[in-house]
Chains A and B, each alone.
Chain A
Amino acid sequence: MTNLEVVMRSNHELPSDVLKHLISILGNRVSTKDVDLLSYSRDYWPITLHWMLKGKIPALARAIVWPKNTREVQDVVKIAYENAIPVYTYGGGSGVLGGAIPEQGGIVVDMKKMRSIKLHEENLLVEVEAGTNGYYLEKYLNKKGYTLGHFPQSLYPSTIGGWIATKATGQFSTKYGGIEDMVLGLEAVLPWGDVVTLKPHVRSATGPDLKTLFIGSEGILGIITKTWLKIWPYPEKRILLSFASETLEEALDSVNRILKRGARPAVVRIYDIVETKRHFYKFDEVYGKIATIIILEGDSKLVEAEKQIIEEEFKGKALGENLVKHWLETRFNVKEASEFAPLGVVFDTIEVSIHWSKAIKLYRSLINVMRSVKGTLFVSAHASHFYPQGVCFYFTFAGIPKGDPTEYYNEVWDVAMKTTLEVGGAISHHHGIGRQRGKWLKEDLGLAFEVLKKVKNALDEKKIMNPRNMGV
């Protein structure tokens, strides 16, 4: 390929008879063109943006395929299995940790042509193929009077399969849960090409819940081709609330009490002082304070009751709807990376979770250690997802390294991961592991990491499914 440096170069070639075989099955839905290989050389791992600006690309697959149905996915996987060729499943490429990068060449299977939707209204279920675009599904459901309740900030570019594979959560998760709470059943193509269906029963006591094996599996155990998701009637009513608090502790305590009383707001977000300034600079009343925004939605009687609980429990100044409206209007305005990466600013986010008892400690420790890395311009955070047991903090950092951007980037990540483990948190809440967190997964899981490896080796004895992803 003209003038482009490949960072993770692999020596594996794709035998010509394999290519011929793929073409005989998929016709023109197989490509080895430079422009296609280039387009699938990365996902949205932020450090790779800096590589790209310098004419470096992470890796190159040997072929890209676009199957249209489960049968075709099976055929591709069988060919790969017979020839021990790596297979990388690609959804929307919005993963932020390098999970979809075809590090060892091989075949990239793009799922986006698989996008059929079947609504089962009577059972409040939707059956959907894995390549379906997130917003496309939500819009479809809305027209029929339903919602999935899953709104990751990547709703627009990502796919349903990607959500399941990375165990995504959305901005409305405090009420609707993460994707794992929505998946009732799924279908996946296993590394040797057979299809396993984990049926969408309302609940079943039929041994361990095997579908959870695939939720968060990031393409290392097989290819998710279809799923059955729980849906909700489109909310009858929405109430928007916001508050200004003097301290982060006060705001966190308030939410803790609200959840203990059983109220389940859809959205709760508590911004530290830096992020309050950053997101709500137009609102004098919160500048220099801690802003909290809350959205309640659902049946009107239930949300009115929840509103009362919140008003009783939230210590701080109530500020009404405007902050929340501003958030709703701007929540998908993803601009920073585009504006700052070309100026040499290394920029990323790190999401971790923690019990209530250690929440403040984790917040302060991470801000401190990340800030202490030479080159850091700022570190900030907001609490973005809440549970009766604890909370997810979402940190943002930016720095201008004097030397190699990748080195600086890894240094910040390493201190953040190490400190999270020391304080007792989980190293990822919803972005997953990918390439970036691989080496830390072992530390987080302990012996369970060996269990994961055994499962991987048992299912994928030839190690063809996204090899080396997640450090397994």
Chain B
Amino acid sequence: MPRKWDWLKDEIKGLELIRSAPLIFKFISGKLNGPDDLVKCALCPNMCRHACPISIVDGKETTSPAGKARIAFFIRDGKLELNLENIEPLYMCLSCDACTQWCPFEFSVSNLTRPIKEEAVKKGITFKEFSEVFKNLKEYGYVYGEPKDEKMVRDGNILYLRGCTIREKYPEVEKKTSKVLESLGYKPFTTSEKCCGIPAYNLGNITLFKKLAKEQAEIINSSGADVVVTSCPSCAYAYRVLYPKYSIKINPKIFHITEFLEGKIKGLKTKGRVTFHDPCKLAIGLKRPELLEKLLLSIEGLEVKSPRRKGKETFCCGYGGSAISRLNAQLADEISNERLKELREEAEVIVTACPTCKLAFESNYGKTLDIAELLYDVLRG
């Protein structure tokens, strides 16, 4: 079979090729690395723009995926100053990686632009809106400030890690998740967990991220559990995808709740009509685009209406990425409302599997159930 560049070799043969295009020859012969990824993205006509929630709702070239890459490229090249005004567009990113699903190079714009954010943080060029997050994470290992006095469950056979948003905003989801797990014969226990570090990572504070990750890994590894279940897909993503990148090892097997329940919930029946919102960190980050829908479809009698954008085409709730809800809350809510509008065309009740998505929709008056809440209700009849 001919190879990818043989046609070009056929066209520009022999001496002529070597004389006219030595770089090309080296490139197509695999002896030269091409441009680096940020440059490639900066030169792209935004072939993933349609998938990027920021791009659709904000609608600005500046915050479009390739637009962000261009700004990062100019800053890196010293053509644009590294200052707050110039880096702000780089933070207009939900870290949802919807771009990656469509990119011919499989780039993640959030990853491509992170080095600039890291450099900015290192140099102390950071928004006042982030300082409090950094402070809370440093002092308490918790994004929301000092944690409330929490009752821990110390005995059990699986460790249930709730994540900061469940702990702070949705204690009822914590209870219901535990009940669902108990109904399946497990004994979940909780511990004095810390933040997984993703907010620090998203905002470019890698030193802080690594510190939190090490502490959290220590807590998990010393818990004695073989299996960890979490309600937060971002936490599961951090433990399974990010920590290994920084050589931080977690010993137990980590599951997001939907992954843990897969194949285990059988014989459930209910009535009603729901639609669902695939969280980006589950559908894209953990590469389980079909899982939430599959779980819902396994409940007999439940009418499950698919939204226009689902699975790998899911559309972030607007509160992802740690930065936008802090820097531009109005835009975050506009994105939530964009998504809510299309979900509401399908059903009144939205089911999701991420506390941040629940928070985003509920802050914008969308009736939203975590998958564990729905299962809890169905189990109770």
Name A residues whose Cβ lies closer than 8 Å to a Cβ of B: 1-4, 33-36, 38-40, 44, 49, 52-53, 55, 66, 90, 92-94, 110, 112-113, 115, 131, 133-136, 139-140, 143, 154-157, 274, 277-278, 281-282, 284, 287, 332-335, 337-345, 375, 377-378, 400
**Segment 1-24 of B: residues with Cβ below 8 Å from A:** 1-4, 6-8, 10-12, 20-21, 23-24
> Which of A90, A94, A131, A277 touches B45 (beta carbons < 8 Å)?
A94
User: Which residues of the other chain, B, contact A4 by a CB distance below 8 angstroms?
Assistant: 74, 79-80
A378 touches B20 (CB 8 A): no
**What distance in Å separates the Cβ of A92 from its nearest Cβ neighbour in chain B?**
7
Residues on A with beta carbons closer than 8 Å to the beta carbon of B34 = 339, 342-343
Of A35, A66, A332, A345, which is within 8 A of B59 by CB? A66
Contact A55 B79 (CB under 8 A): yes
Q: How far is the CB of A271 from chain B (nearest CB, A)?
A: 11
A38/B309 contact (C-beta < 8 A), A55-B79, A94-B46, A400-B24 known: no
Not counting A35-B62, A131-B59, A139-B308, a sample of 18 additional A-B residue pairs whose C-beta atoms are within 8 angstroms of each other reads A38-B71, A39-B61, A49-B43, A52-B43, A66-B60, A92-B46, A135-B50, A139-B313, A157-B47, A157-B49, A157-B50, A277-B7, A278-B8, A281-B2, A281-B6, A284-B1, A334-B44, A334-B45
- Residues of B near A66 (CB, < 8 A) are 59-60
CA distance A343 to B24 in the complex (A): 7
Determine if B78 and A342 form an interchain contact, defined as CB atoms under 8 angstroms apart. Answer: no
Q: Which residues of chain B are within 8 angstroms of A340 by Cβ–Cβ distance?
A: 24
Type the 1/0 row for B52-94, where 1 means its CB is closer than 8 Å to any CB of A: 0001100111101001001100100111110001101100000
Taking the closest CB of chain A, its distance from the CB of B185, in whole angstroms, is 40
Contacts of A55 in B (CB 8 A): 77, 79
Q: Are B43 and A342 within 8 A (Cβ)?
A: yes
Indicate if B40 sits at the interface (CB-CB under 8 A).
yes
Check B49–A92 contact: CB distance below 8 A. Answer: yes
Interface residues on B, range: 35 or more
Give the chain B neighbours of A284 by CB distance below 8 A.
1-2
- Rounded to whole Å, the gap between the CB of B113 and the closest CB of chain A is 13
CB pair A33 B60 closer than 8 Å: no
Chain B residues within 8 Å of A, Cβ to Cβ: 1-4, 6-8, 10-12, 20-21, 23-24, 27, 34-35, 39-51, 55-56, 59-62, 64, 67, 70-71, 74, 77-81, 85-86, 88-89, 102, 104-105, 308-309, 313
The answer to whether B71 touches A39 (Cβ under 8 A) is yes
- Given A66-B60, A343-B34, check contact A133 B50 (CB 8 Å): yes
Q: Is the CB of B46 within 8 A of A39?
A: no
Closest to B48 in A: A156
A378 touches B11 (CB 8 A): yes
Instruction: Collect the chain A residues with CB atoms within 8 Å of residue B35's CB.
Output: 338-339, 342-343
- CA of A340 to CA of B11 in the docked complex: distance in angstroms? 16
Establish whether residues B79 and A338, one from each chain, have CB atoms under 8 Å apart when the complex forms.
no
Task: Tell me the complex Cα distance, A94–B88, Å.
Answer: 24
- By a CB distance below 8 angstroms, the chain A residues around B3 are 281
Q: Which of A3, A36, A44, A133 contacts B62 (CB under 8 A)?
A: A36
Q: Does B20 lie within 8 Å of A38, measured CB to CB?
A: no
Residue of B nearest to A344 (CB): B23
Most buried by A among B40, B45, B67: B45
A115 / chain B contacts, CB cutoff of 8 Å: 56, 59
Given A39-B67, A133-B49, A156-B48: A343 in contact with B23 (beta carbons within 8 A) = yes
Q: Which listed residue (B27, B56, B61) contacts A90, Cβ 8 A?
A: B61
Partner of A140, one of B55, B59, B308: B308
Q: Which among A35, A94, A139, A337 has the highest number of chain B CB atoms within 10 Å?
A: A35
A156 close to B85 (CB less than 8 A): no
Q: Which of A39, A131, A375, A400 has the most CB atoms of chain B within a 10 A radius of its CB?
A: A39
- Interchain Cβ contacts under 8 Å between A and B, 25 examples: A1-B80, A4-B79, A35-B71, A39-B61, A39-B64, A39-B89, A49-B43, A52-B43, A55-B77, A156-B47, A156-B48, A157-B49, A274-B11, A281-B1, A281-B4, A334-B44, A339-B35, A339-B40, A340-B24, A341-B43, A343-B34, A345-B21, A375-B20, A377-B8, A377-B21
